[in-house]
Structure 1
């Protein structure tokens, strides 16, 4: 049987925020990387990355994508809820190929109501050695979900009240994924809950942004119904609206404040603080000239 750390690593979601960071971390670690993407010719990937076609709507692409691969980074595209139909062919192909480790991107607080739980169970049931990464709330959401409000209106509008979140930088998540995939035998195949070093309210976040950007950024708490109306009025996809409201309720109830030391344990360095993240990305919130 090939060594668990030999051959290329298949990375799904390689053009997304987390997947792209995983690709970069693996390349830095000297690993061969195979990126599974819908259109290899159009994928903007780092030099040295092998791009192969992997379409979760086309089961015939699963076998070729995993051929010769010993390790897989598996993440669920947000639009996919039926994980058995969409991701099952790849998991089955990985089982037939005797893949030695699958790193699954899950979520903190995973439970049977979430597709992440079904994805974890599917990989486990297939008999594949699995490490589930269960990150908390991504710091990068301050760019993707709230970037325009911060940049143009100097506001954060949420229905989280004064609940606390343990933000985590996706660069840290990717570094942990790379460490596990690079040396699978050194890491127990148990779930890793990945968080930043502290849990913060959105009032705290606004204060960090204010200090870094040199202008006042305020947190505006909203009710759940008002928040829903605002998001829908902005043309936000209803599925994402539901996700955001669930996060708001979870935060209100104190279920998102857990802090662990898993990142420091795996990487041998502290997890990135939100203040560090804000400093590294402050230019994305600079208002554009009108």
Structure 2
């Protein structure tokens, strides 16, 4: 599927990244991080972006979040042009960025406080989220008392406590061991099933993108642009064993063949 085919007929998109580019100025000259890129994300859609290091994936997410301005083009979310950091989102980075002097519950409550949610309601939401990711009973622990996977679960709960319409994630599972990563992927699938929100995931993992997504955008090497968009037509909920199915492996193979064709991978 081409980029044009992927966005046609999606005028009801919650997120519209409209013909954006990004050029950075450096002491040695300009660096073009993103070629002209257009993405429309449907309400409630799980959309992943995969591509090689340096292709502009994280830059794209920062622009979508309103944390970085595009050089040209515009970002529209919920019908509004984004010109400042967005308040309708939750955002999760590869590093958990927890405050070491705050408890687990206190870290999750940061977003509730920032959004001026009444304290008892904020705590109710925070405790329910922590329970949903297996952290009930850890509310009074501090970050240094948790494993890496547990800390990342806390950061996801913090991103969700204000019930955002849009969740943005930049390699949130990249630093985790394989078993913890698998559990986090299952947790993420469950969380997304329970909430009517759009999710934009940046990842290097082809398997992770296919497992979680409704669509996967594949990007070229820098300057990044959209190579292909794949609709992932697999039933939900998905199980880890489904990664062994012929259908799942067909999507994996199609993306890997794109990387081979572009020289991102070499055999």
The TM-score, its normalising length taken from structure 1, stands at: 0.28
Higher relative contact order (CA 8 A, sep 6+): 2
Greater gyration radius: 1
Whichever structure has more strand as a proportion of its residues is: 2
Whichever structure has more helix as a proportion of its residues is: 1
The TM-score, its normalising length taken from structure 2, stands at: 0.30
